[in-house]
A = this chain, B = another copy of it.
């Protein structure tokens, strides 16, 4: 409320407090850093931090501030109160046992992929992914599955998540970028027709994945399932074979979510 003319319209004190939680989640460990990140005064910060500590949202460790136990309680509560996650569990486990690779369930939230379930694979290196972690929609197989229906967002999301350097766009880089964008849209069109999606090491070199969307009673995509593994376990042929498997698991979960086949 000082530099730029934003209008947060709402409850500043609450927003300020939640902003502190976010900053700590992002690795800020001491109040001075919070001060330079938020612009709030010391006394204000300490009061807010004390309140958050008291409620268990933050806690003190030998190394400084960190997220508190209440968040663990609420986070797992949020997960288990999510019908998708609880309904999907058994189906995902069955899929995981069958394919022996890492299985994920994710939803879209705030323009990114949010993992709800991860079942680590039984071979190869373990993926660094974690439940509660966020990933870009257009770079992951599971994210593309979540976007399948939203043709109008493909380009928008691609551009938002795409170039690491927006400012520095040399003419040649721009040309390459446009080509990549067209390529992305073309692939999405293909996936959309097939009702599945791939990740060919775009997000993480050496990691490939096959994904399919989960739908609910209104036909809307409410989540997605994926199988991921290191490239040696994921030759093109196997990926092709996995498509119906992932789709099967996704269909089972969709059924439990009230999906009764594509209408229209």
Residues on A facing B (Cβ under 8 Å):
10-18, 21, 25, 47-48, 50-52, 54-57, 61, 66-69, 71-83, 107, 109-110, 114, 116, 130-134
Does the CB pair B55–A109 fall under 8 Å? Answer: no
Distance (whole angstroms) from the CB of A137 to the closest CB of chain B: 14
Roughly how many angstroms separate A131 CA and B16 CA in the complex, as a whole number? 29
Distance (whole angstroms) from the CB of A138 to the closest CB of chain B: 19
Roughly how many angstroms separate A224 CA and B128 CA in the complex, as a whole number? 27
User: Which of B15, B25, B50, B67 meets A55, CB within 8 Å?
Assistant: B15
Contacts of A18 in B (CB 8 A): 17, 55, 57
The answer to whether A10 and B51 touch (CB under 8 A), given A21-B74, A79-B72, is: yes
Contacts of A14 in B (CB 8 A): 13-14, 16-17, 48, 51-52
Distance (whole angstroms) from the CB of A190 to the closest CB of chain B: 29
* Consensus secondary structure, chain A interface: helix
Q: Can you give 24 contacting A-B residue pairs, CB < 8 Å?
A: A10-B50, A11-B13, A12-B13, A14-B14, A14-B17, A15-B51, A15-B55, A17-B17, A17-B18, A25-B77, A25-B78, A56-B109, A67-B77, A67-B78, A69-B78, A69-B109, A72-B78, A72-B114, A72-B131, A73-B75, A73-B132, A73-B133, A76-B133, A80-B130
> In this complex, which of A74, A82, A114, A130 has the most chain B Cβ atoms within 10 angstroms of its Cβ?
A74
Q: A69-B107, A72-B131 are in contact. List 8 more A-B contacts (CB 8 A).
A: A11-B51, A14-B17, A14-B52, A21-B74, A69-B110, A72-B79, A72-B114, A76-B133
Contacts of A52 in B (CB 8 A): 14
Does the CB pair B56–A116 fall under 8 Å? Answer: no
Contacts of A47 in B (CB 8 A): 10-11
Roughly how many angstroms separate A144 CA and B11 CA in the complex, as a whole number? 42
